[in-house]
């Protein structure tokens, strides 16, 4: 597998990527393909008893496990590549691992280890720093929706164990809490950024995934139960939709930022009391950073990273923003402003390797206090503003699905196409040479990440998905579309 001879043509690169995915990353259990490992192991240890010798891949922390989030691109690619049975197997295996423990009932594992005779799930009890991954649970629901929508396998959705899994998820979400806000409160490192990076509270990515999971769950219940739906289930669907509506409204009100809003925020009074005030989270002007001026320009906009009392997190998080566009949480004009912002800041976000995970990095005092001196997350490294090729296809899908003859984006479509094509060419050029590295460091992302794994599966699938959507079959760009709120309300009305 060593790149002694580097591939020359795009076709050769793509063939290598497919070969790696299907023959090295894919894992089988009881003769079924059930998911892909996070990184293809490179170190192999050989054992010999004098007569027989065996070679076993060496365990590398948990990178040889099957991660829920890392499998999202793999599963989408399998769907597009005509292998839906792998996706169904993956969904079934994860469902069988949904926690039954009283304290965590309903959550899905971050990852699981596959041995010949059993699967061992990690819900956070084995994770470095014992971080819990909330995104895994939300992703399962979204993936179940995407799978059934794409294949029309409604029989799978109607199964009792699938419906029971949905119920367990709703029991986690629809219960009384201390806060009125519709956002989901999580500890630090509860999603793709799975080490402390001051992303506790209500980080954007979790909220957008929650929105997607609520829409997905509602659809899976309505579709799966059909005419058999009970009044109790209908009432539950109503509460789920109500939460989704409130969440979207809240995110658009408190997280959306553009230059006009910054100017309003800067002039608001503080220390107000009561239920009709203009500065609910008591944000002081001094906390609003000046880099926003050039970052936003006149027309740019994005969803900020977090909303907490006294402290908005103004960092730009790439995945949360792309997903907000893909799930249509952002209305069209806001999507346009987001893509405008990305185009405007392409030297930062793309540089030598698309895409930067968040911007700007935490430095100095912030790095020391908020990451706990984490050497992996030093400034411009890893999660702290490093560059991750696995994020690129999300932007591809977000932009492509907006393009239609009547769309305003079309006016700029040449610039956007160029942007995506350039990104694709960078992946083609650099990934084989850099052995499909997990991430890249430095303000331009030119250096391979100091602690990056090589042959990282979601780096490989990012290239494959990008090629499929941008070059090969762009009509598949709607694969991640979720049912809209309006559609779900009508569907519910039809069954009531
Ligand atoms: C790292 C990443 C995490 C990913 C895991 C496996 O921990 O931060 O997002 O799921 O590696 O690739």
* Angle in degrees, CA 422, 423, 427, rounded to 5: 115
Q: For 208-232, what is each residue's pLDDT tens digit?
A: 999 999 999 999 999 999 999 999 9
Q: What is the mean pLDDT of residues 321-333?
A: 98
Looking at the DSSP bridge assignments, the partners of residue 46 are 55
Distance 192 CA to ligand 1 centre (A): 6
Task: Give the pLDDT confidence of 371-391 residue by residue, as tens digits.
Answer: 999 999 999 999 999 999 999
pLDDT at 16 over 50: yes
Is residue 99 helix, strand or coil? coil
Q: Across all residues in the chain, what is the average pLDDT?
A: 95
Q: What is the pTM of this model?
A: 0.96
The finding on whether 38 has its CB within 6 A of some atom of ligand 1 is yes
> For residues 456 and 97, what is the distance between their CA atoms, to the nearest angstrom?
24
Between the alpha carbon of residue 420 and those of residues 101, 316, 416, 459, the distances in Å are 45, 19, 6, 16
pLDDT given at position 402 = 86
Atom of ligand 1 at shortest distance to CA of 39?
A: 12
Whole-number percent of the chain with pLDDT over 90: 91
Q: Is the pLDDT of residue 46 over 50?
A: yes
Nearest-angstrom CA–CA distance, 240 and 246: 10
Q: How confident is the model at residue 39 (pLDDT cuts 50, 70, 90)?
A: very high
Spell out the residues 6+ positions from residue 373 whose beta carbon is closer than 8 angstroms to its own.
367
Average pLDDT on 139-154 reads 98
Is the separation of the CB atoms in 348 and 374 below 8 Å?
no
Closest CA to 24 of 47, 1, 5: 1
Return the higher-pLDDT residue of 54 and 228. 228
Q: Is the pLDDT of residue 1 over 50?
A: no
DSSP secondary structure, 393-432, as one string: HHHHHHHHTT--TT-GGGGGHHHHHHHHHHHHHHHHHHHH
pLDDT tens by residue, 68-83: 999 999 999 999 999 9
Centre of ligand 1 from the C-alpha of residue 309, in Å: 29
CA of 384 to the centre of ligand 1 (A): 13
Whole-number pLDDT of residue 50 = 75
Question: Mind listing the pLDDT tens digit for each residue in 84-134?
Answer: 999 999 999 999 999 999 999 999 999 999 999 999 999 999 999 999 999
**Alpha carbon distance, N-terminus to C-terminus of the chain:** 58
pLDDT tier for residue 401 given thresholds of 50, 70 and 90: very high
> Which residue has tokens 């769950």?
217
pLDDT computed for residue 4 by the predictor: 58
What's the average model confidence in pLDDT over 182-202? Answer: 98
Rounded-to-integer distance, Cα 58 and Cα 429, Å: 29
**pLDDT at residue 406 greater than cutoff 70:** no
Mean pLDDT of 395-418: 79
351 lines ligand 1 (CB under 6 A): no
Q: What is the mean pLDDT of residues 142-165?
A: 98
Atom 7 of ligand 1, residue of closest alpha carbon: 194
Closest atom of ligand 1 to 438 CA is: 12
Q: Residue 435 Cα, ligand 1 centroid: separation in angstroms?
A: 17
Residue partners of 94: CB distance under 8 A and separation at least 6? 68, 108, 109, 112, 140
Confidence of residue 28 (pLDDT cuts 50, 70, 90): very high
> CB of 465 within 8 A of CB of 50?
no
Of the candidates 7, 15, 14, 38, which has an alpha carbon nearest to the alpha carbon of residue 25?
A: 38
Ligand 1 centroid distance, CA of 280 (Å) = 35
Is the CB–ligand 1 distance for residue 194 below 6 Å? Answer: yes
The verdict on the CB of residue 382 being under 6 Å from ligand 1 is: no
| 38 neighbors 64 (Cβ within 8 angstroms) | yes
pLDDT digits (tens, 9 = 90+) for 411-449: 578 899 999 999 999 999 999 999 999 999 999 999 999
pLDDT at residue 408, as a whole number: 55
Per the DSSP assignment, residues forming a β-bridge with 17 are none
Q: Count of alpha carbons within 13 Å of 388, Cβ hemisphere only?
A: 25
Torsion of CA 373, 377, 378, 381, to 10 degrees: 170
- Dihedral of alpha carbons 11, 13, 14, 16, sign: positive
Residue for token digits 């002039």?
267
How is residue 310 annotated by DSSP? T
The DSSP 8-state label assigned to residue 477 in this structure reads G
Q: Which atom of ligand 1 is nearest to the CA of 382?
A: 8
Helices 204-225 and 318-326 cross at an angle (nearest 10°) of 30
Q: Rounded to whole angstroms, how far apart are CA atoms 116 and 6?
A: 34
Cβ 388 under 6 angstroms from ligand 1: no
CB 204 within 8 A of CB 320: yes
pLDDT tens figures, 358-370: 999 999 999 999 9
DSSP 154-199: HHHHHSHHHHHHHHHHHHHHSS--S--SSSPPB-TT-SSS-S-SS-
Separation between Cα atoms, residue 108 and residue 136, nearest integer Å: 6
């Amino acid at each position: 597998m060593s790149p002694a001879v580097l591939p020359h043509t795009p076709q050769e690169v793509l063939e290598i990527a497919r070969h790696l995915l299907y023959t090295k990353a894919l894992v089988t259990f009881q003769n079924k393909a059930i998911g892909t490992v996070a990184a293809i192991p490179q170190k192999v240890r050989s054992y010999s008893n004098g007569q027989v010798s065996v070679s076993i891949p060496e365990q590398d922390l948990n990178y040889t496990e099957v991660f829920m989030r890392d499998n999202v691109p793999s599963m989408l690619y399998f769907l597009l590549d005509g292998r839906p049975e792998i996706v169904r197997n993956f969904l079934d295996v994860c469902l069988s691992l949904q926690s039954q423990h009283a304290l965590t009932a309903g959550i899905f594992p971050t990852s699981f280890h596959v041995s010949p005779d059993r699967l061992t799930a990690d819900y956070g009890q084995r994770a470095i720093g014992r971080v819990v991954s909330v995104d895994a649970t939300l992703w399962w629901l979204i993936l179940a929706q995407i799978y059934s929508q794409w294949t029309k396998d409604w029989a799978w959705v109607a199964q009792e164990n699938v419906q029971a899994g949905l119920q367990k998820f709703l029991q986690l979400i629809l219960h009384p809490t201390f806060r009125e806000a519709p956002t989901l409160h999580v500890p630090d490192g509860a999603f793709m950024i799975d080490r402390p990076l001051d992303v506790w509270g209500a980080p954007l990515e979790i909220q957008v995934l929650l929105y997607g999971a609520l829409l997905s769950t509602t659809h899976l219940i309505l579709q799966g139960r059909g005419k058999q739906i009970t009044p109790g289930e209908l009432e539950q669907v109503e509460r789920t939709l109500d939460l989704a509506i409130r969440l979207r409204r809240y995110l658009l009100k408190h997280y959306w930022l553009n230059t006009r809003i910054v100017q309003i925020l800067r002039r608001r009074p503080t220390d107000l009391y009561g239920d009709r005030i203009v500065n609910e989270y008591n944000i002081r002007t001094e906390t609003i950073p000046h880099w926003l001026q050039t970052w936003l320009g006149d027309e740019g906009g994005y969803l900020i990273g977090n909303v907490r009392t006294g402290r908005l997190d103004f960092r730009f998080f790439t995945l949360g923003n792309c997903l907000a566009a893909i799930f249509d949480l952002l209305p069209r004009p806001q999507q346009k402003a987001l893509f405008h912002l990305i185009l405007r800041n392409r030297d930062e976000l793309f540089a030598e390797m698309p895409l930067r995970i968040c911007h700007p990095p935490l430095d100095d005092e912030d790095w020391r206090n908020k990451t706990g001196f984490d050497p992996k997350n030093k400034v411009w490294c890893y999660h702290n503003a490093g560059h991750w090729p696995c994020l690129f296809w999300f932007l591809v899908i977000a932009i492509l699905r907006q393009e239609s003859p009547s769309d305003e984006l079309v006016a700029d479509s040449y610039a956007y196409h160029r942007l995506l094509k350039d990104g694709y060419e960078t992946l083609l050029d650099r990934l084989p040479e850099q052995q499909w590295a997990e991430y890249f460091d430095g303000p331009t992302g030119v250096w391979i990440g100091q602690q990056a794994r090589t042959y990282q599966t979601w780096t490989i699938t990012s290239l494959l998905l990008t090629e499929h959507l941008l070059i090969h079959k762009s009509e598949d760009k709607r694969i991640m579309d979720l049912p809209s709120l309006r559609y779900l309300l009508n569907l519910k009305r039809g069954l009531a």
